Amino acid sequence: MEPLRVGVLGAARIAVAAIVEPAQLTGTRLVAVAARDPARAEAFAAEHDVERVLGSYADVLADPEVEAVYNPLANGLHGPWNLAAVAAGKHVLTEKPSASDATEAREVRDAAERAGVVVMEGFHYLYHPVARRLLDVLASGEIGELRRVEIDMVIPPPPPGDLRWSFPLAGGALMDVGCYGLHMHRALTPSAGGAPRVVAARAGERAGSPGVDEWLDADLEFPGGATGTVRCSMAAESTRMTCRIVGSRGEVSAPQFVLPHRDDRVLVRAGGSDRVEELGRRPSYAYQLEAFALHIRGGEPVPTGADDAVATAELIDDCYRAAGLPLRPRTHL
């Protein structure tokens, strides 16, 4: 398969783990990068073997050799630059969430459909064997019918001034980490009698940052009667990204389902016994990039396409409404 040719918008820290290292593992070409600070782009390209540095994000989109764009910009810049990339005829691998709100996510999806390009949202965890195993254990019936889902997504506080604390740039704990918990609930839909809905939410605002959730807890319910909770925070003492799925005859859990390269264990309790499965620490981002390339080159389906992004954005909006916080504002280029 011909290597995918990717242009990178910005030199964000997440880009190293999310695109640079996976590109090295999969043979993907990083053909161009641009950043607001040209010196930073030059340093990024030199350190990570990006083929050339361009003067602006628009130049990356205009480059005929770039066939796909990776967008790791601040949350509020995902939607507008995804739309710009689609308008330029580029496929897009975007960091999550793909847009500031559900309306913008629908605009991105509809634009991609009209342009005939792929927009894939970066819920990388779902491509790793750890997440797939969690879903498969429930679907197999080994732990019985779904009763309860408990997901914690908490990290230590980003420094003051970090863009994740910016309301104009669509910051907040739910946007940054909690969206993974919502997404995993949605991934359980085939085994839960339908998609989850938000029934209640509570949140605490970041001091000095009105509208920005420092933490948010959401309660969800599935049509079949199972319930779920998502607890997210950017004010914890340590990182914890756990998923526990409880059935009528047992349970399955993972201590780091979003970061399986740190801990690849899946714990199953069923039939009166416990077992631990270790499923490999190859980065989830590498699996994701492979899926992105196979989707573009061969039409292989992916579970985190533009329709999926809209459904997740709708749940995010519902959480903010239930918690009494405003929806994230849109950014216009």
Domain residue spans of the chain:
5-124+287-303, 129-281
Angle at 176 between CA 255 and CA 276, to 5 degrees: 10
- Burial class of residue 41 (count of CB atoms within 10 Å of its CB; 0-12, 13-18, 19+): buried
User: Which H or E element spans position 129?
Assistant: helix 129-140
Collapsing DSSP states into helix, strand and coil, what is residue 190?
helix
For residue range 231-278, list pLDDT tens digits in order.
999 999 999 999 999 999 999 999 999 999 999 999 999 999 999 999
For residue range 283-319, list pLDDT tens digits in order.
999 999 999 999 999 999 999 999 999 999 999 999 9
Collapsing DSSP states into helix, strand and coil, what is residue 320?
helix
pLDDT value, residue 155: 98
pLDDT over 90 (residue 1): no
Which residues have a Cβ under 8 Å from the Cβ of 24 and sit 6 or more positions away?
Answer: none
Regarding the domain delimited by 129-281, which CATH topology (the fold level of the hierarchy) does it fall under?
Dihydrodipicolinate Reductase; domain 2 (3.30.360)
pLDDT value, residue 7: 98
**What angle do the packed helices 179-187 and 306-323 form, to 10 degrees?**
120
pLDDT over 90 (residue 333): no
Q: Fold identical between 5-124+287-303 and 129-281?
A: no
Q: What is the pTM of this model?
A: 0.97
For residue range 188-244, list pLDDT tens digits in order.
999 999 999 999 999 999 999 999 999 999 999 999 999 999 999 999 999 999 999
Output the CA–CA distances (angstroms, integers) from residue 320 to 155, 233, 246, 251, in the order listed. 20, 14, 26, 30
pLDDT over 90 (residue 326): yes
Regarding the domain delimited by 5-124+287-303, which CATH topology (the fold level of the hierarchy) does it fall under?
Rossmann fold (3.40.50)
Cα separation, 132 vs 144, whole angstroms: 17
Which residues have a Cβ under 8 Å from the Cβ of 233 and sit 6 or more positions away?
Answer: 153, 154, 155, 173, 177, 214, 215, 216
25-43 mean pLDDT = 97
